[in-house]
Every structure is written in structure tokens, then in C-alpha cells.
């Protein structure tokens, strides 16, 4: 869908020092894991995943990281933005419904997992491990709007919840083989750590990843990932573990708006 909709911001909720959630009217057929492009026609256009879906409302939980989000954070209820989408390959809700699931979220990546947790039927058993660098980065620390089998928080610096990251929690207290699927979303180094840890287990996993996007419809190739050339905006942003293992770029480098490679700390090329 390439038509832009002018949507009024119905409410703005401060989640912590660096994140806000924007509520808008839901006029779309959207699934958890999909994303939208949002613009104010003055400060550019950026992609945002949906952090909650109800029949009449959609929510975007946004981290302030640059000029566009800084301007967005200055907006309040009654202001309007332009939205196009939804785009991308979201989570397979039919496959996951009614299963035993382990959710591993990190930072702003927790948003799409919340939308999925609240979207799945009540008989689905979900353990949700919610991680962040510190309490100031931690989202939804008080849980979600639906019952979960278990919910815990972890921070790298120990300022909230368990000390450590989501992989540390898994190593210390989680039997991965007791789950049907693992679903994870967060910063790329975290996703790589999850992939590496669960590789010795037989549990299938789904990963929601991010890449710089321009068009969101698969034309510009800006978000293509080496060496397969999958486009995150079309074939992703949700990928199976099998596909992720074919992407040699993942966890090594990502590209900016000019296409320049930026290597992650500790990766080859740094």
C-alpha cells in the first residue's frame, strides 16, 4: 500500500527517558512485525514497527536517536503525521498461535514483540525476557496487557531486574528445549548473541532485524543484505534462523544512507 494517510496523534506516552509511544487510529490491515513509513513532510521519512495493535488503534514506540525523532518527540496529541504501509513480512501468527514461545527482546526491539504477544490467542504460552542496557532504556518493565507464562527484565548494568542480558538469563534459568519456537527482536549484536547461543539447540527461531530503508517497497535496494540480497523491507524484517545463517553480512557490518559499510565492534574490518 503506497497511499499516505494523514493520521492524528491521539495520545503520546513517555515510556522512559528516551522512548515515547504514539497512538493513532487504525485504518489498516496490519500484522505484528510489519512496519510503516512515517513523515511530517518537513524532516524526512523513517520506518517504524508497530508496538501494539487493536481493532481501532495502532501504536508506535519510538526511540529518540536523530533529527527526525527529535521533531517527532516535540509533537503532542492533536498533531498529525502522514503514514504509509504496512510493509514487510511479519510474524507467522497462525504458526505461533497456541504454542510454547520464548520471546527475547532488547531495547526498542521489544515493541514488535509486545504487539505479537498481545495479538496471539490466550492459549499461547509466552515467556517474555525483556532486556536493555539500563533502566532508562527498558521498555514495558511492568509487563504487558495480556497474561504471560513468565515475564522478567534484565539490564546490562543491573539498574533494573536481573544483572546481564537476555542470553545470560537463558543460560542461567531457561530450558530452551521446553519451547516450540524462539522469537527475538533487538539490536543486532544482541540478535547475534542469541543466534550463537541457541545454535546448539533444536528450537526453531524467528528474528526481526533492522536495516536502513528508503523506499520500503523493494525498489531501491538500500536494505539488501549480503550475500543473498534479501530485502529487509520485503522479505523481512522477520527472518527464520535458517535464512539468517545465510546472511554473512549479519552481525558483521551494516550500511548507512550512502551504502558505506559500518562494522560492528569486534567484527572483521574494525
Is 64 found in the same domain as 177?
A: no
Q: What is the pLDDT of residue 269?
A: 52
Q: What is the pLDDT of residue 33?
A: 97
Is 112 found in the same domain as 15?
A: no
Per-residue pLDDT of the chain (270 residues; tens, 9 = 90+): 578 999 999 999 999 878 999 999 999 999 999 999 999 998 889 999 999 999 999 999 999 988 999 999 999 999 999 999 999 999 999 999 999 999 999 988 999 999 999 999 999 999 999 999 998 889 988 888 888 999 999 999 999 889 999 999 999 999 999 999 999 999 999 999 999 999 999 999 999 999 999 999 999 989 999 899 999 999 999 999 999 999 999 989 988 888 888 898 876 554
Q: What is the pLDDT of residue 268?
A: 55
**The CATH number of the domain where 251 resides is what?**
3.40.50.80
Is 246 found in the same domain as 125?
A: yes
By residue range, what is the domain housing residue 39?
5-87
User: HEC states along the chain?
Assistant: CCCCEEEECCEEEECCCCEEEEEEECCCCCCCCCEEEEECCCCCEEEEECCEECCCEEEEEEECCCHHHHHHHCCCECEEEEEEEEECECCCHHHHCCCEEEEEEEHHHHHHHHHHHHHCCCCCEEEEEEEECCCCCCCCCCCCCCCCCEEEEEECCCCCCEECCHHHHHHHHCCHHHCCEEEEECCHHHHHHHHHHHCCCCCCEEEECCCCCCCCCCCCCCCEECCCCEECCCCCEEEEHHHHCCCCCCCCEEECCCCCEEECCCCCCC
Is 60 found in the same domain as 12?
A: yes
Q: What is the pLDDT of residue 238?
A: 98
Q: What is the pLDDT of residue 17?
A: 75
Domain endpoint, select from 62, 87, 112:
87
Q: What is the pLDDT of residue 267?
A: 66
Is 184 found in the same domain as 136?
A: yes
User: Is 268 inside a domain boundary?
Assistant: no
Is 166 found in the same domain as 98?
A: yes
Amino acid at each position: 500500500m503506497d497511499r499516505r494517510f494523514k493520521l492524528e496523534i491521539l495520545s503520546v506516552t513517555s515510556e522512559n527517558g528516551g522512548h515515547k509511544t504514539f497512538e493513532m487510529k487504525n485504518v489498516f490491515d496490519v500484522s505484528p512485525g510489519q512496519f510503516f513509513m512515517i513523515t511530517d513532510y518537513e524532516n524526512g521519512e523513517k520506518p517504524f514497527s508497530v508496538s501494539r495493535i487493536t481493532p481501532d488503534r495502532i501504536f508506535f514506540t519510538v526511540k529518540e536517536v536523530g533529527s527526525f525523532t527529535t521533531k517527532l518527540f516535540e509533537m503532542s496529541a492533536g498533531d498529525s503525521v502522514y503514514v504509509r504501509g504496512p510493509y514487510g513480512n511479519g510474524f507467522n501468527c497462525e504458526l505461533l498461535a497456541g504454542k510454547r514461545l520464548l520471546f527475547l527482546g532488547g531495547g526498542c526491539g521489544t515493541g514488535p514483540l509486545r504487539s505479537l504477544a498481545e495479538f496471539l490467542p490466550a492459549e499461547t504460552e509466552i515467556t517474555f525476557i525483556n532486556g536493555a542496557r539500563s533502566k532508562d532504556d527498558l521498555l514495558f518493565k511492568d509487563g504487558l496487557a495480556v497474561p504471560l507464562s513468565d515475564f522478567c527484565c534484565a539490564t546490562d548494568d543491573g539498574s533494573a531486574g536481573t544483572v546481564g542480558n537476555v542470553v545470560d538469563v537463558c543460560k542461567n534459568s531457561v530450558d530452551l528445549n521446553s519451547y516450540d519456537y524462539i522469537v527475538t527482536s533487538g539490536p543486532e549484536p544482541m540478535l547475534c548473541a542469541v543466534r550463537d547461543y541457541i545454535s546448539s539447540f533444536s528450537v526453531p527461531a524467528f528474528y526481526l532485524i533492522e536495516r536502513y530503508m528508503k523506499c520500503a517497497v523493494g525498489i531501491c535496494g538500500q536494505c539488501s543484505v549480503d550475500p543473498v540480497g534479501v530485502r529487509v523491507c520485503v522479505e523481512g524484517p522477520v527472518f527464520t534462523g535458517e535464512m539468517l545463517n545465510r546472511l554473512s553480512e549479519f552481525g558483521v557490518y551494516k550500511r548507512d544512507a550512502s551504502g558505506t559499510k559500518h562494522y560492528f565492534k569486534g567484527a572483521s574490518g574494525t
